[in-house]
Amino acid sequence: MAQIDFGGVMEEVITIEEFPLERAREVLGKETVAVLGYGVQGPGQSLNLRDNGINVIVGQREGSATWNKAVEDGWVPGETLFPVEEAARKGTMIQNLLSDAGQVATWPIIKECLNDGDALYFSHGFSITYKDQTGIIPPDNVDVIMVAPKGSGRTLRTNFIEGSGLNSSFAIHQDYTGKARERTLAAGIAIGSAYLFPTTFKNEVYSDLTGERGVLMGCLAGVMEAQYNLLRKHGHTPSEAFNETVEELTQSLILLVAENGMDWMFANCSATAQRGALDWAPKFKDAVTPVFDTLYERVKSGEETRRVLDANSAADYRQQLNKELKVIHDSEMWRTGATVRSLRPENRRMP
């Protein structure tokens, strides 16, 4: 396995060169991989496994919209698509990709389906790390492993189809068979990881929950809204405010940052933008650091976990979620966004 220098820190990285797909197929050759859940991660991971020649089945609640989606994707009821409990009983590697609340609700059933030497696989450290709240404590006679793609299941699938991959972290919480690491790496390669890097269940969930609430979604959405509202308050049109806040970022600048880094971006923008970015970046950093400190402590203490489990277990969870999403959808900013997206060249006929 390669040791890579990340800014002066050496880290282990596993790529398909070190762990080829053929080796993954050999390791998983006698496994029945049961993917439980067909919501966020389930489709991407299961379809990639199937396309890579792995024996995979899907477990999902019958009659649900996601059950129907699985059928549309080619999973056959009674052959490769089963109710959750039946799939778990058939699997030797049980990939528990249900929602965090769903994992808590189904754990008493799933636990009874585990056989000696099975692998219990997660893509999130949530259930194991916060076991005092989730009640998920695996038996001693199974491997407990994790592969966590650093992106959505949709992106994992799209990148796979395009011939690339998505970076994933991996961890071994419990190695009962002595083969947990090999099984983990094989699964990571087979689901379409570009490269794999080691973590722990605890570190994964701490960084993941912080990132989702921070830069990846919560902070990004909040900062965008603040700038958009500021520009509108000072008389800028919706189109101008949205383009300067969202469109230029998502359609141009962030793509260049992804390709070349922020230092390159600063070095290759106008002198005016360059000076302003260099001067104001530290101010924003100082402003949000206390918020991030509070966020991380809430993640570490389990307060964010309690919030998630309480909210997602409520009988009216879906109705309340839809109300909150509707507020965003109906806001001027994101109604403007829908119009701006419709005007992109790829969405309209150009002369």
Helix axes 303-312, 271-301, angle to 10 degrees: 80
Q: How far apart are CA 292 and CA 206, in angstroms?
A: 12
Q: How far apart are CA 121 and CA 102, in angstroms?
A: 15
* Residue 63, CB-side half-sphere exposure with 13 Å CA sphere: 0
Q: How far apart are CA 143 and CA 177, in angstroms?
A: 7
Residues catalogued as catalytic: 124
Which residues 6+ apart lie within 8 Å of 269 measured at CB?
277
Q: Sheet with 9-15: list strands edge to edge.
A: 2-6, 9-15, 193-198, 166-174, 143-149, 119-122, 93-96, 33-36, 56-59, 81-82
Amino acid letter, 260: N
Give the angle 341-278-8 at the CA atoms, nearest 5°: 100
